[in-house]
Amino acid sequence: MSVPEIPSEIRNREPLPVSPARDGAIRIIATAAVLAILYFGRDVLVPVTLAVILSLLIAPLVQRLRRLGLGSTSSVLAAVLGVALAFVGIATVIGSQLVRMAANLPLYEARIRHKADVVQEMTVRRVSAVLGDAGVAMFNPAVDANAAGGAVNALPAAPAPAAATGTLQFAEKMLASIWVPLETAGTVLVVLIFVLLEREALRDRLIRIAGSADIRTSTNVINDAGERLSRFFVSQFAVNVGVGASLWLGLAVLRLPHALLWATLATVLRFVPYVGLWIAALLSALFAAAVVPGWSLMFATAALFIIVELLAGQLVEPQLFGHTTGLSPLSVVIAAVFWSWLWGPIGLIVSTPLTLCLLVAGRHTRALNLLDILLGDTPALTMPQRLYQRALSGDSDEIIAGARLFLKRNTLATYCDVVLMPAMYLAGLDFVAGTIDKDQQIRVRNAVVSVIASLGINSPAKARRRKASVLDDASLGRTLREQRERLSGRWQGPLDVPPGSVTLCVGLGSVADELATEILVRILLSHRLDARHIALADLQAAAASGGSPEAVAIVYIVSAYPKDDPEQTAELAREIRRRLPSCWIIALFLQGLMPKAPLTTAHAEIANVDQSATSFRDAEELRLEWQRKHAAA
């Protein structure tokens, strides 16, 4: 039986496009389905997640045992048995201390009540005395009600407690209370053993699921997640144990009862980001207040927690793993809230590693790149994009603060090359496309003028306060030059100077050239060099005013759009050479205001040009090199 041929109009028909609304609905449904699985399947997912996390923590120990000569199964069983015994031992000690502490609860309760009365006497009652009758009514409404003559009906007496249950019933209740934790612990141990035994096979299966067609990417994702999580857990576990040991020793020295209990509580709660240790500190301080009549033990306990946490957080952790989880602080907090809502206290503890897994997946998978943007600590915008965005908002102060922070480790020339000029290129693209209105253009111009005027030396501080109307029609370069001329004169310095001490910067004539020329002048001025921004016509006027041509050592010809400028640069260089025959001419072809493209040989072989540069940093280095050579001569 022959298969009927499909008509060509159907065979060649393009697939129907998926509407954005339908695509969004599918994503919402998929997200809701995932959340439902995570929530309703938490009884299964929580033990499995804990087992996987513990496997990352125990994996280095298993590998070390295998290097000592044990087999794979023996290494896994020995490591799991050692960890289980350690947990059982710690749980036994903590349980015994809890029983002993429970026996003394009546004494502790009496002391807490006494100190609460003291605190109330020192605060609430004093405020009530100051406020008078209004304060009494505010802080003790029952007094006000009685004063008004309202009779307060006595509450019915509480029923007498039931008779004590028998030993069998008590055992049943105890078993019922600990059965769920024991069941979870047993499930975690069984899954942990098999995860460690099948570690390589699980990795292969994950690679197959992630995509066997691209083994390299899948391997990078799994290795990055495994190594980063394992390093994070081992480092955090070591730091937390060290913090707990330090607190145990300190609390023992302070003679706080059950010091091991509070130190262990602090070790466990420190896995909860940001607030875990302080919860343990609060509980320990309250217990210290209940132990002794005075307040000294409570304040000493709180001070011990603060000192230990500061040392661990500011000195130990940066040296051990450098806070290189890659998560932003906000994402850690939101993840803690989200996972604790889904899985309760266990979700709070595992929130950071689970979020870190999502971050790694977002960095290596294009479809999940949104996770890297939302969760990662890398800036969402590049430095030029951030500068342009702040300029559109008119936030000059934030731009200047960021620039000064950048300049602590870099030069002004580097900042202009990698931040300022690329940001101006982005602004130029929007200006040509007509996507920014007149007000935004003024804000950008004001912001750029403020930034350039505030950086380097010999920059007028008052330029930051200039009104926007001044910049409406003037070019940025001319505006900045006029600001300097108001301080140093028309020639931006004296004309009677020693030979070879002046550096002239000449633009090719466009608005961008004028801005780049003024930036170059300010970069050279930051090195305390005599740099001046002039036009070609100014050379004749300077000579008529008594200036000496021998005073000029170097002349820069600046082009912000060098693609079509070799001929114009050659013509200007020829005119400069005719007027200043002994000067050194450097052509600066900037590429920060145009798409990155290699300069042609025509830019490197221009008549009357001694040398070419392609960045402010190169131009700065050529001037400093010339100065070093002539200083040595």
| Number of residues assigned to the chain | 633
Instruction: Flag whether 40 is in a domain.
Output: no
Would the CA dihedral through 333, 334, 340, 341 be positive or negative?
positive
Alpha helices, DSSP H, located in 104-166: 105-122, 124-131, 133-139, 141-147
Tell me, yes or no, whether 255 lies in a domain: no
pLDDT of the residue at 470 = 34
443-450: average pLDDT: 84
Cβ proximity of 182 and 321 under 8 Å: no
Q: Identify whether 514 is part of a domain.
A: yes
Name the pLDDT band for 467 (thresholds 50, 70, 90). Answer: very low
Q: What is the dihedral of CA 101, 102, 103, 104, to 10 degrees?
A: 60
Residue 462 has pLDDT above 50, yes or no: no
* Residue 251 is assigned to a structural domain of this protein: no
Percent residues over pLDDT 70 in the chain: 73
Predicted local confidence at residue 158, as pLDDT? 47
Mean pLDDT of the chain: 76
pLDDT of 595 > 70? The answer is no
- The predicted model gives 282-295 an average pLDDT of 84
472 pLDDT exceeds 70? no
Q: Where does the pLDDT of residue 145 fall: very low under 50, low under 70, confident under 90, or very high at 90 and above?
A: very low
Taking 70 as the threshold, does the pLDDT of residue 174 lie above it? no
Domain count, the chain: 1
- Please tell me the predicted confidence (pLDDT) of residue 152: 43
Which residues, 6 or more positions from 128, have their beta carbon under 8 angstroms from its beta carbon? 135, 136, 138, 139, 140
- Tell me what pLDDT residue 547 has: 63
More confident residue, 267 or 14: 267
For residues 516 and 593, the answer to whether their CB atoms sit within 8 Å is yes
> Is residue 32 one of the residues assigned to a domain?
no
More confident residue, 357 or 323: 357
Does residue 590 fall inside a structural domain? Answer: yes
Band of pLDDT at residue 248, cut at 50, 70 and 90: very high
Reported as a single tens digit per residue, the pLDDT across 365-412 is 666 777 777 777 667 778 888 888 888 888 888 888 888 888 888 888
In this predicted structure, what is the pLDDT of residue 246? 93
Q: What is the dihedral of CA 408, 414, 415, 417, to 10 degrees?
A: -170
Average pLDDT rounded to a whole number, residues 35-50: 86
The boundaries of the domain holding residue 417 are 384-632
Is the entire prediction scored with pTM above 0.75?
no
Q: Determine contact, residues 531/524, Cβ cutoff 8 Å.
A: yes
Beta strands 611-613 and 584-589, pairing class: parallel
pLDDT at 290 over 90: no
Q: Evaluate if residue 24 carries a pLDDT over 60.
A: yes
pLDDT over threshold 70, residue 540: no
Higher per-residue confidence, 602 vs 70? 70
User: 603: pLDDT confidence band, cut at 50, 70 and 90?
Assistant: low
36 domain-assigned: no
Residue 495 has pLDDT above 80, yes or no: no
Binned at pLDDT 50, 70 and 90, residue 224 comes out as low
Cβ burial, residue 308 (10 Å; 0-12/13-18/19+): buried
In 3D space, the residue among 571, 574, 562, 575 whose CA is nearest the CA of residue 603 turns out to be: 562
Spatial separation of the C-alpha atoms in residues 111 and 107, rounded to whole Å: 6
Region 183-208 average pLDDT: 80
pLDDT for 392 equals 87
What is the average per-residue pLDDT within 527-556?
78
Identify the pLDDT of residue 445: 84
Residue 457 pLDDT level (bands cut at 50, 70, 90): low
Say which residue, 207 or 39, is predicted with more confidence: 39
Domain with 389 in it: what CATH number? 3.40.50.280
Query: Mapping DSSP to helix (H, G, I), strand (E, B) and coil, where does residue 416 land?
Result: helix
What b/e sequence results for 453-474 when a residue is b if at least 16 CB atoms lie within 10 Å of its CB, and e otherwise? bbbbeebbeebbebeeeebeee
pLDDT confidence of 593, banded at 50, 70, 90? low
Question: Of the given ranges (258-262, 288-292, 528-532), which has the lowest mean pLDDT?
Answer: 288-292
176 falls within a domain? no
Residue 468's pLDDT band, with cuts at 50, 70 and 90, is very low
pLDDT of residue 301: 92
Cβ-count burial 541-575 (b if 16+ within 10 Å, e if not): ebeeeebeeebbbbbbbbbbbbeebbeebbebbee
Q: What percent of the chain has pLDDT over 90?
A: 4
DSSP code at position 436: S
- Could you give the C-alpha distances from 572 to 363, 528, 565, 615, in angstroms and in order? 50, 27, 11, 20
pLDDT, mean of residues 521-550: 78
* pLDDT at residue 409 in the model: 86
- 473-491: pLDDT as tens digits: 457 788 888 888 888 877 7
pLDDT for position 144: 46
